[in-house]
Chains A and B, each alone.
Chain A
Amino acid sequence: MSDKKVKDSISFRFQALISGILLISTAAISIMIGINERAMLYRTLSSKGQGLASYIAKLSQDPLIMKDYVQLDGIINEANKDEDIIYAIIQDPQGKTLTSQYASINYRLPRVKTLLSGLARDSELPEVIEAIQKKEAVFTVSVPIMAGTDVLGKVSIGMSEYMINQEIKKTITYILALNLTAMFTLGAILFFAFKRIIFNPITELVQATSRLARGDLTTKVVASGGGEIRILIDSFNQMAENLGARTSELLEAQEELVRKEKLAILGQLSGSVGHELRNPLGVMSNAVYYLKMVLSDADQTTKEYLEIIKQEIDNSLRIISDLLDFARTKPPQRQSLAAKELVRQSLKRCSIPENVIVTVDIPEALPSLNVDPPQMGQVLTNFITNAVQAMPEGGALRIAARFAGAGIAPAKPGCLEGAPPQFFVEISVTDTGTGISPENREKLFQPLFTTKTKGIGLGLVVCKNLVAANGGRIEVESEPGHETTFTVCLPAIEI
């Protein structure tokens, strides 16, 4: 991930925000504590200096009167053992310093040597004190030495703020160390908690969105999460699923559209070709009829050839008829028609070989069909013919009908789903032929698909179109090697 991406990421911004807040609060706390502690320590130091100076002033009365300066040195030397005191001096009323340099300056403090570096070796006490005051924060506490009402001199103590600053530094260091430890711990806990709760699911969602955008419609987010994140994940998954479904529907629709377009072109072509061929074939049929009539006493061979011509012309006419039916499905002229009657007429139109046993099982109390009789007759005839052709060695042909109950009419272009329910009657034609393989079954209703030697593969396509035009549907069940059932589900008159 590039730097910019890292900087733009929510987790980075979140982490930066948390760190920023903790740092600012740490700094603010440190400053506040530092200021408070400084004020407190300053007060303590000041009061300590005052107390000590008063005590020295009291002790110094007698030595001052006796001019025993060695004893004065001894007194302030003791005071100088405190690390807050950097110097202590006793002066006479004229301001002359009475104590000696090495007793007055607290040379025990290692930093004093550094403070006085660069000073001339024979520097006197006032110069030494001045040098100290220049380099270190010192405040002086002075107390007069009194004998009754007489002022004998004064004690001045230089209180160094060095220790205060050191204490504050130490405190701030502790606070910073403590807060930084807390900050890193808290930051790490928050980071990992939020990473688990928010960032991981978000990252996965981002990746999933990216995959989805690239066209992977099987994308699904499996990250765990609760609350709003769970809702987001579920919504995303639902969205992806819907998108997949819609896309496949669209693809199907697109394919259907292309197929229909092809069929339309095929229909147009079939219409014009069929129309152009039917007339010459009619002429040829009439010519054969005439020849048969005039050559009634012709030899047997001639008669056979004439019959062959007649049959081939009939086949050609049927093919042309199929082509024309395929090309132009006439709007159905619906009317009430008993299923039994439909079956009877259809069987009548078909020539059933003797080795095929026909069974018709149609209940009496079946509602009448609401269909175009010739169109449905054509459909049923087609089924029966196919069934018979599927059993060249003979077999059983079962025709049955039953009430299929209420259902939704098949969707038609321009019709909304959920149209009012209507009643249906199913008519099934079953043969005990060789059956249809699954791959062939899928192509059954595709134009120009046929397994017959004499067929162009439009019969079932035309049947499907006709049934659909009558508000019904066709279903096929087949077990290869056993039997095949074509079922047409047709709308019935309301009971």
Chain B
Amino acid sequence: MKQKWMVLFLLALLSALGVPAEAARAEKKIGVLMWSEDPAYYETWKGIMDQLKKEGLVEPLVSISLVNARGGKAKLSEMAHRFALAKMDVVVTIGTSATIAAAREIQDRPLVFAYVYDPVESGIVRKLESSGNNTTGASSGVSMPKVLNYLQEFSQVRRLAVLYTPGETNSELQLHALQKALADSHVKVVPVIISREEEVIPLLQVVVPAVDAIYLSGSRIVSKQVSVIVDMATKARVITITHRDDLVDRGVLLGICANPYLVGRLAGEKIVKVLKGGRPSSIPIGYLSRFDLKLNMKTAKAGGFRPSPSFMKSVTKLVE
């Protein structure tokens, strides 16, 4: 009680002497910008928070403003602009779209991104070792050739549909990566553009019978409609595969995933470094060293898929 009165007294004294109130506060302002309500993003955010807590960066030392654009690009720009005006000590972005929007608005403050699939191809950083600008962060990228190796090991696939959403950078980059990886193989990539939720069913009605496997890219619409997509594909014994950890939990058959929580922890480390005075350009972009090979057994049973024993040995996580 005594201490509290002492603090109040000191604050009153500082005000009387004309010292600005902001200078009296030692806390750091962290603005967090999330692209959508994707569960993976919240998982990432959980990782970030845990890492900050581990480093002792909790209130009142830090003040955190978390905003979510809920998939709206205009809203995203407006929120990024508001963070720019608020002169945050660090702006944290979760998701590629959020990162691109924030990077456009904020160049004079550190920006730490998390769960960005390919920061270089997205144009956020110049190199992985050094961003060359005010950004650093942790990527959720996985190696597409590795993904395809696992897929071929699971089953012989000739036609692979890639569900993507135009305008969502992550989603488009994943399509590009798959096209590049399969350019010289006998597997044909069939891009399936999905720009609205209501298009999912009519499109899949024609796509599912024409392909052997479906890749679910990091699209907000794909994420929302995952159960419908998996259901339609599984009924036709078509393999569903993704790099998104949470989508496997929600039904996708196969996943070669970067754990979003771990990506969040990695991003948390970068935030701590920045708050301690580190220059973002000198902090290299973080990647997870290990990926999970996840298999959704429920979907496997429903579709009558029988993975080989050798494949099962490689599986690191089974979703029951």
Contacts known (A70-B175, A107-B203, A108-B199); A102 close to B190, Cβ less than 8 A:
yes
User: Among B164, B188, B195, B205, which residue has its beta carbon within 8 angstroms of that of A78?
Assistant: B195
- On chain A, the residues within 8 Å of B207 by CB distance are 102
The size of the chain A interface, using a CB distance under 8 A, is 18
**Best-surrounded residue of B159, B188, B199 (most CB of chain A within 10 A):** B199
- Interface membership of A470, Cβ < 8 A: no
Closest chain B residue, CB of each to CB of A72 = B166
User: Among B158, B176, B206, B211, which residue has its beta carbon within 8 angstroms of that of A107?
Assistant: B206
Rounded to whole angstroms, the CA-CA distance of A201 and B205 in the bound complex is 70
B181 shortest CB reach to chain A, Å = 15
- Interface membership of B191, Cβ < 8 A: yes
Q: Chain B, interface size: which category?
A: 20 to 34
Rounded to whole angstroms, the CA-CA distance of A392 and B191 in the bound complex is 145
Contacts known (A71-B166, A102-B192); A113 close to B199, Cβ less than 8 A:
no
Rounded to whole angstroms, the CA-CA distance of A102 and B191 in the bound complex is 7
User: Among A77, A101, A112, A121, which residue has its beta carbon within 8 angstroms of that of B195?
Assistant: A77
Contacts known (A102-B207, A121-B210); A70 close to B202, Cβ less than 8 A:
no
- On chain A, the residues within 8 Å of B188 by CB distance are 122
Closest chain A residue, CB of each to CB of B189 = A100
Rounded to whole angstroms, the CA-CA distance of A103 and B206 in the bound complex is 13
Rounded to whole angstroms, the CA-CA distance of A185 and B278 in the bound complex is 90
Binary interface profile of B, 180-206, with partner A (CB < 8 Å = 1, else 0)?
A: 000000001011110100010011011
Are A102 and B195 in contact (CB-based, < 8 A)?
A: no
User: In the complex, how many residue pairs between chain A and chain B have their CB atoms under 8 Å apart?
Assistant: 53
User: Among A77, A107, A116, which residue has its beta carbon within 8 angstroms of that of B202?
Assistant: A107
- On chain B, the residues within 8 Å of A113 by CB distance are 202, 205-206
Binary interface profile of A, 41-77, with partner B (CB < 8 Å = 1, else 0)?
A: 0000000000000000000000000000011011001
Rounded to whole angstroms, the CA-CA distance of A100 and B195 in the bound complex is 14
- Interface membership of A280, Cβ < 8 A: no
Closest chain B residue, CB of each to CB of A112 = B206
- On chain A, the residues within 8 Å of B118 by CB distance are none
Are A122 and B193 in contact (CB-based, < 8 A)?
A: no
Rounded to whole angstroms, the CA-CA distance of A71 and B167 in the bound complex is 8
Closest chain A residue, CB of each to CB of B175 = A70
- On chain A, the residues within 8 Å of B192 by CB distance are 100, 102
- Interface membership of A110, Cβ < 8 A: yes
Are A103 and B202 in contact (CB-based, < 8 A)?
A: no
Contacts known (A70-B166, A73-B166); A108 close to B193, Cβ less than 8 A:
no
Binary interface profile of A, 104-116, with partner B (CB < 8 Å = 1, else 0)?
A: 0001101011001
Contacts known (A70-B176, A116-B206, A122-B210); A101 close to B166, Cβ less than 8 A:
no
Rounded to whole angstroms, the CA-CA distance of A215 and B37 in the bound complex is 102
- Interface membership of B38, Cβ < 8 A: no
Are B202 and A110 in contact (CB-based, < 8 A)?
A: yes
Rounded to whole angstroms, the CA-CA distance of A157 and B60 in the bound complex is 61
- On chain B, the residues within 8 Å of A107 by CB distance are 199, 202-203, 206
Query: Could you tell me which B residues sit within 8 Å of A by CB distance?
Result: 158-159, 164, 166-167, 172, 175-176, 188, 190-193, 195, 199, 202-203, 205-207, 209-211
Query: Could you tell me which A residues sit within 8 Å of B by CB distance?
Result: 70-71, 73-74, 77-78, 100-103, 107-108, 110, 112-113, 116, 121-122
**Closest 4 pairs between A and B when the two form their complex, measured CB to CB:** A74-B166, A100-B191, A103-B193, A121-B210
With A70-B191, A121-B211, A122-B159 given, name 6 new contacts (CB 8 A): A74-B193, A102-B206, A103-B193, A107-B199, A112-B206, A113-B205
A-B contact list, 7 entries, CB within 8 Å: A74-B167, A74-B193, A100-B192, A103-B191, A107-B206, A108-B199, A121-B211
